[in-house]
Structure 1
Amino acid sequence: MKRIYHGPWTLAGLACAILAAVAMLSLFSCGENRQAGNKNRHHMDNKDLKTIYLAGGCFWGVEKYFSLIHGVKETEVGYANGSTATPTYEEVCSGRTGHAETVKVVFDPEELSLPFLLEQYYSIIDPVSVNKQGNDRGVQYRTGIYYTDEKDKPIIEASLKRLQQHFKQPVAIEVQPLRQFSRAEKYHQRYLDNNPGGYCHIPPGKFQEAAQAREAAPVYRKKPDDELRRSLTPEQFAVTRNNATEPPFRNEYFNNDKPGIYVDVTTGEPLFLSTDKFDSGCGWPSFSRPIKEELIQEKQDLSHGMRRTEVRSKTGDAHLGHVFTDGPKDRGGLRYCINSASLKFIPEQDMEAQGYGKYLPQLRREAADRKSAEK
């Protein structure tokens, strides 16, 4: 058992001091887990990584759990959103500073999404418990999600809304911007790696689940025509299924310059990024390349007395448009001339929530490269 504080500050302080001394002795006797520590230091300078701060009771077990998840690159335990800048463990234990024992989780959004990470978090806490997780009681053991990127807030709120559907009681997880985070003392870092028999309120089997956790890849499927007739507009159906062509300059995306991703309107499968879109003057959306070559298929098109190369989506077999060799030379020389009716645009700010978060790093990298090239 770790710590249960019911008494006044003096008793709590004494308990914390004893625990701290024992933990430090254990640390010196066990040594550090070098392999795990190396994982903490990898990718520190990668600008594409994302960070979220999670409070879920005793931070020893929470850190251990997240350090095992594929795609998590760094974990660190500390004290978040309290009233003092650099509290000690004993001060936090008193409950008077208002800090929450919190784990900083740095992850690669190309390997796992924030919604998936939050689902793992929910699996190791009691979401409706107030200031109590396992045997640990006190304001420092409250549950909380603290973010540093304002764009994460609606994603977190949507995730919690889904979670609430499983409970009659209100979910007690607080959601706040990270106001302050103070790194905990050294002996708390990677505590369960250094002290395998140490206290943890999380069942041991959960750690094996964490190591095996993988976010399921989205499944895109070709839909039958009767289903598409119900979900598409007449123009979208005519273009995607009957190879029709929408009018130039009178379509939804020909002059759309917002950042985001374009997906197959029939399946939702990603096709093009806004960073590869350019103004060709033809009146239809033009792209220099697809996200991946394997997402599309090309066919010879001899209709209307012309010899052209038709472009179709690979999974949905939807007619998209045609590809020509008169595109910008500095972008490879190709022009994918695509019907707006074949596409659905997901703005950058909605990509994570709608399941396209893994493409955000690529989108932002390419946007930065374009800006740099224009200078």
Structure 2
Amino acid sequence: MQSIPGVIDAQSGYANGTGEADANYRTVSTGETGFRETVRVEYDPEQVSLDALLLAYFYVIDPTVQNQQGNDKGSQYQTGVYYTNDKARETVERIADIERSRSKAFFVEIGPLVNFYPAEEYHQDYLEKNPGGYCHIPREEMRLFSQLHIDPGDYQKPAAEAIRDKLTAEQYRVTQESGTERPFANEFWNQFEKGIYVDVVTGEPLFSSTDKFESGCGWPAFSKPIEAPALVELPDDSHGMHRTEVRSRAGDSHLGHVFTGDPESPNGVRYCINSAALRFVPYAKMEAEGYGYLLYLFDN
């Protein structure tokens, strides 16, 4: 969390347990206190949204396991998000509903913060003190979040009725009902104009024309997204196939699928995306439409 710009402080501790007398590593490790090993995050909402922090959290945890993360097992390792006021509660519950809807099992605790006690000093900034220490979150992902430009809080998912009113029947079928449009008969499959492609539902930036390549698949093909956390990848065993579905982070729109080993792709990866899930913003209009902060994508 401290790697994310806008986070002021992240303090390790113990939350929602029996009380201060038991809030120490030895006692909490027994698994009998109700405490969860927890991080208190202080952030500047002018620099980063709570949406961004929550979606970053869900990006690095496994919500499908109970009382466990990585190699750590026990009730103290149960995942959870604990809010401190009603405004935060609304955001937490909204994001949790999105994450719950795309997970076959969801064991993340969602509720109010009852109590919090800082952990011992040797637990604070643990990886700075112990560079070789264990953490189930790869360091590459920590570095990734320190370099992000897109804040999903700027692109929140509208209410269901607003989505239906906003989209065409085809856009709704693809994004909300996981449909697939016809190959070679969609808007962007053979377009290579300079600009970015955004989620048609929320406007969240997803792909750049700099990563679009000619593909024989009949749909828009990209070698990578603008930022990896903007996409959610899920196993898809529908239609008797084993594929990886791609959905948008903030809007939870069905976008398409991602494949590896593609000989046409410059890096072997093909994000095969439905045109109906995208809106194209030409380079010349990016500044006017609020995407000027991504003009750096075209500097080279």
Q: TM-score, normalised by structure 1?
A: 0.40
| Higher helix residue share | 1
